[in-house]
Structure 1
Amino acid sequence: MLIGVIADDFTGASDIANTLAKGAAPEGGLATAQFPGVPNSPAPAHIEAGVISLKSRTAPVEEAVSESLAALEWLLAQGCQQIIFKYCSTFDSTSEGNIGPVGQALALAMNARGVVVCPAFPTVGRTVYQGHLFVFDKLLNESGMQNHPLTPMTDPDIRRFLSLQTEWSVGHVAQAVVSAGSEAVAAALADDARRGNMFTVVDATSDQDLMTIGAALQDASLITGGSGIALGLPRNFIRKRLARGGDTTLDAQTGPDAILAGSCSGATREQVDLHASRQATYAIDVPDVMSGKVTADTLVAFIAENQGKQPLVYSSGTPEAVRKIQEKFGRDKVAATLDALFADTARQLIGNGYRKIVVAGGETSGAVAQAVADELGNPAMQIGPEIDPGIPVLKVGETDPVLLALKSGNFGAPDFFKKALSIMGADI
């Protein structure tokens, strides 16, 4: 294995796995697999890039650090020459962590300094300029992320925000340096390392910037960022003839399908509204879930009754509605209860022969993907075709595989659900 990725949630893991598998023209990408948690056995020999999916984004800091170091140990044991700590392109975190503490622990373990911090993903509107993170034309704290129920982002200055999370100083490589080319970026990063900066925020406003940064990082042992930071990395190994690449084609699946949505982002709510105008949908009443009135049996029954109608069950709501429910029942209790509900629903669906499942929301995707992996013996997940930027189809298992699409809340076109099922083989 050449590149190892430690991702702090499941949708983010799929996102960067997709980037590594796809690569950039003309070279293409690497043979890539996604692993649900730290494996307890070696990776398949043909895998060139391995992505470990953790659920550490909202975990307690000590737990996130411990799990990430365990993932690092396994990846290094597979021979990885380069490690990426992958977090969301909206830098989802809090002032206490977890991005800074995890990044710091990895850097200390690898004796790395001047480590790149770049959450940019221009294809979906995430750019970094003068150290500030933008979502399309809005600063991060004006994009809706300030209303995130678990990791509200109220400061777009990545340097300042990261400085709250780590005891080490944070540097910056500006857009003008990136525009000057990869040698200029490499020199600036080396200068930052000599000055004692553990992290260096690097501006990127286009895919070409990411390719430039990727070339500058060909010898870097540790990198941090969103999935976009991986865009230029496969090329380094392919040009050195260390990698042969892989195939992202998958066979379509027959049988019933289901859509599970737990994200409250604006993009997901729009997708749910469009789907509801055409197909069968079930709005989950969260207080009824908390009281035990609505269970996985309820959701599975609705899905079964509406086969052929692309059935969707969702707990998405407006920021105001989510806030009221959290105030009544407690944020952590609501999140844990909904995660368990979607995981139990997925287990029942797999047991009932469902082999195409679309999931929206990072926490929901983590719960569902882990449940599916557990049901199928925790196999490596093969990266399939891209549905929308940053969202591939995942194949779990070999003899009777399940196809998954794990969508981060803010990702995907308005018709994402229909498009995903169509690519998986549903009769649309």
Structure 2
Amino acid sequence: MLIGVIADDFTGASDIANTLAKGVEPEGGLRTAQFPGIPDTPADKEIEAGVVSLKSRTAPVEEAVADGLRALRWLKDQGCRQFIFKYCSTFDSTRRGNIGPVAEALANELGAQKVVFCPAFPTTGRTIYHGHLFVLGKLLNESGMENQPLTPMTDADIRRWLQYQAQEAVGLVSIDAVTQGPEAIATALRNVDERFVIGDAISDEDLLAWGEALKDAQLITGGSGIALGLPKNFVRRASSKRGGSVFTGIAGPAAILAGSCSGATRGQIDVHAKSHPTFAIDVPGVMSGDVTTQTLLDFFETHPGQAPLAYSSGSPDDVRAVQGQFGQEAVAEKLDNLFADTARELVQKSYKRLVVAGGETSGAVAKAVSEALGSPAMSLGPEIDPGVPVLSVGKTEPIALALKSGNFGAPDFFARALKMMEAGK
């Protein structure tokens, strides 16, 4: 294995796995696999980039650090030469979040001296300019991310936000150096006194320049965009054999599970509901035990072949009301278990295509599916929308998964995902 990635949630893991598998032309990408959790056995030796999916984005600091170090040590055992700590392109955390502490632990374990933080993903509108994170041209704290129930982002200055979390001082390599290319970036990095460095990027060309400048970096942190230019470094050194697994399509029963409360996902649900059956999960009913796994299974089995969708998504006010009544952690745990148990039962009932929206929901579902099929590795298929690939799980009778971050995807994402899973392209 050449590159090892530690991702703090499952949809983010799919996102960066997709980036590494695609690469850029003419060099192409790496043979990439995603793992739901830290494997307890060695990876296939043909895998060149391994992405370990954790569920640590909102975990307590000590737990997130411990999980990150365990993942790092497994990846080191696979022979990785470069490591990436992947978090959301909107830097989802809080002032007491774990991005800083996890990065410090990984850097200390590896002895890394300069560690870049670059969550930019221009393809989806995430850019960094003089240390400030923008979403579709709006400052992060004015983009809607300030309303996120678990990680409200109330400051667009990522340098300042990271400094709240980290003991290390935080510096900046600004766009002024980045636009001059890889050599200028490398020089700027050498001249920065701080160990942690925010990296500006407003275009894919900037990310490619960063990729070349970081060809020898032990540890890099950021969103999936920071990986855009990394595969070609290994291809040019003839370390990579290039190419990946072939996805030819998977047909069969399908279901959609949505647990994200983002505006994008709620819009996608509205679009899907115009021509497909949907089921709004009553969260108080889940908490009381009136809404169960069987409730969802009954809904799906009543609508075969119609791309049925069950969702727990709600407006920020709805979410706050439910969390205020039952407690944030209790609600999250109940919903995660509901989605995981439902997915496990769907696999047992020979469902072949599952589309999932929301990081926490995707984590619960991916782990349940992997355990049900006894397959720790997920291979990469075609890209549905930027940052969201089709995943294939299982060898003898595989199923297709799509794990979508809440804010990703076009309005008709759900229907198109199921169609691509079946067609294979």
Aligned to 1:162: 162
Task: Verify: 1:287 aligned to 2:300, yes or no.
Answer: no
Deviation at 1:253, TM superposition (A): 1.5
Which of 204, 216, 224 aligns to 1:207? It is 204
Which secondary structure state, in structure 1, belongs to the residue aligned with residue 102 of structure 2? Answer: helix
Check conservation: 1:257, 1:426, Cα contact below 8 A: no
Aligned ranges 1:26-37 → 2 under 5 Å: 26-37=26-37
* CA deviation string 1:265-322 (max 9, x = no partner): 0000000000001100000010001100000100011001001110000000000111
Which secondary structure state, in structure 2, belongs to the residue aligned with residue 342 of structure 1? Answer: helix
Deviation at 1:189, TM superposition (A): 1.3
Aligned ranges 1:355-370 → 2 under 5 Å: 355-370=352-367
* CA deviation string 1:187-212 (max 9, x = no partner): 111222xx2x2210010000000000
Q: Amino acid of the residue matched to residue 111 of structure 1?
A: G
Aligned to 1:274: 271
Question: Which shifted more, 139-148 or 418-427?
Answer: 418-427
Which secondary structure state, in structure 2, belongs to the residue aligned with residue 214 of structure 1? Answer: helix
Task: Verify: 1:344 aligned to 2:368, yes or no.
Answer: no
In 2, the alpha carbon distance for the partners of 1:37 and 1:353 equals: 24
Where does structure 2 lack aligned partners over 5 or more consecutive residues?
none
Identity %: 64
Aligned to 1:320: 317
* CA deviation string 1:336-364 (max 9, x = no partner): 11000000000110010001000000000
Q: Amino acid of the residue matched to residue 208 of structure 1?
A: E
Where does structure 1 lack aligned partners over 5 or more consecutive residues?
none
In 1, the alpha carbon distance for the partners of 2:212 and 2:369 equals: 37
Aligned ranges 1:7-406 → 2 under 5 Å: 7-192=7-192, 195=193, 197-406=194-403
Check conservation: 2:266, 2:314, Cα contact below 8 A: yes
Deviation at 1:426, TM superposition (A): 7.3
In 2, the alpha carbon distance for the partners of 1:367 and 1:244 equals: 33
Check conservation: 2:248, 2:423, Cα contact below 8 A: no
In 1, the alpha carbon distance for the partners of 2:123 and 2:26 equals: 18
In 2, the alpha carbon distance for the partners of 1:177 and 1:222 equals: 21
Deviation at 1:72, TM superposition (A): 0.4
Check conservation: 1:32, 1:246, Cα contact below 8 A: no
In 2, the alpha carbon distance for the partners of 1:169 and 1:61 equals: 19
* CA deviation string 1:223-248 (max 9, x = no partner): 00000000000010001111011235
Q: Amino acid of the residue matched to residue 323 of structure 1?
A: R
In 1, the alpha carbon distance for the partners of 2:241 and 2:32 equals: 11
Cα distance change, pair 288–9 in 1 and its aligned pair in 2 (3 A): same
In 2, the alpha carbon distance for the partners of 1:377 and 1:312 equals: 26
Which secondary structure state, in structure 2, belongs to the residue aligned with residue 45 of structure 1? Answer: coil
Which secondary structure state, in structure 1, belongs to the residue aligned with residue 165 of structure 2? Answer: coil
Which secondary structure state, in structure 2, belongs to the residue aligned with residue 96 of structure 1? Answer: coil
Check conservation: 1:249, 1:385, Cα contact below 8 A: no
In 1, the alpha carbon distance for the partners of 2:363 and 2:181 equals: 38
* CA deviation string 1:389-413 (max 9, x = no partner): 0000000110011110000000000
Which secondary structure state, in structure 2, belongs to the residue aligned with residue 70 of structure 1? Answer: helix
In 2, the alpha carbon distance for the partners of 1:211 and 1:252 equals: 31
RMSD across aligned positions (CA): 1.0
Q: Amino acid of the residue matched to residue 421 of structure 1?
A: L
- Kindly tell me the number of residue pairs found equivalent between the two proteins: 424
* CA deviation string 1:161-212 (max 9, x = no partner): 00000111001000010011101111111222xx2x2210010000000000
Which secondary structure state, in structure 2, belongs to the residue aligned with residue 180 of structure 1? Answer: coil
Question: Which shifted more, 242-251 or 275-284?
Answer: 242-251
TM score, norm. by length of structure 2: 0.99
Check conservation: 1:30, 1:246, Cα contact below 8 A: yes
Check conservation: 1:10, 1:53, Cα contact below 8 A: yes
In 2, the alpha carbon distance for the partners of 1:390 and 1:145 equals: 19
In 2, the alpha carbon distance for the partners of 1:272 and 1:105 equals: 39
In 2, the alpha carbon distance for the partners of 1:145 and 1:218 equals: 32
Q: Amino acid of the residue matched to residue 283 of structure 1?
A: A
Q: Amino acid of the residue matched to residue 315 of structure 1?
A: S
